[in-house]
Structure formats: C-alpha cells, structure tokens
Amino acid sequence: MIRSIRMLPLALIAAALGNGLAELVGVGGMWAPVIGAIAGGWTLGVLCRSPQASN
C-alpha cells in the first residue's frame, strides 16, 4: 500500500502524458481522459507489481 502511494506521482505524470498524447493525435475530448486514466493505472500497476509475481 505504501509503495503504491509513493508511486502515485509517476502514475499521475503518465496519465497526463497519455492524455496530452491522445489530444495531439486527435482522438478527441471524450476519449483523451479515458486513455490518460488507462495509462496511469497501467503505470501504477507495473510499478507496484511485486518481484515474486513475475516468476
């Protein structure tokens, strides 16, 4: 839990970058936040995955 809280700023940065990239590509105003949320959630999941889970 504490690890996920420490990684939250990186996930928020990934979400903002995903949102900005979606806007640049021209996905549209409705789907850009969705893509940003997916990018943030995926990043948080990857950063908080335990090393034992990859075995």
Determine the Cα–Cα distance for residues 52 and 9; give it in Å rounded to an integer: 24
Q: Are 49 and 12 in contact (CB under 8 A)?
A: no
Interaxial angle between packed helices 32-48 and 2-25, expressed in degrees from 0 to 180 and rounded to the nearest 10: 150
Q: What stretches of the chain adopt beta strand conformation (E)?
A: none
What was the pLDDT predicted at 26?
87
Q: Is the pTM of this model over 0.75?
A: no
Kindly state the helix (H) or strand (E) to which residue 29 belongs, with its residue range.
none
Q: What average pLDDT does this structure show over 5-28?
A: 87
Is the confidence at residue 12, as pLDDT, over 60?
yes
Q: What average pLDDT does this structure show over 18-37?
A: 87
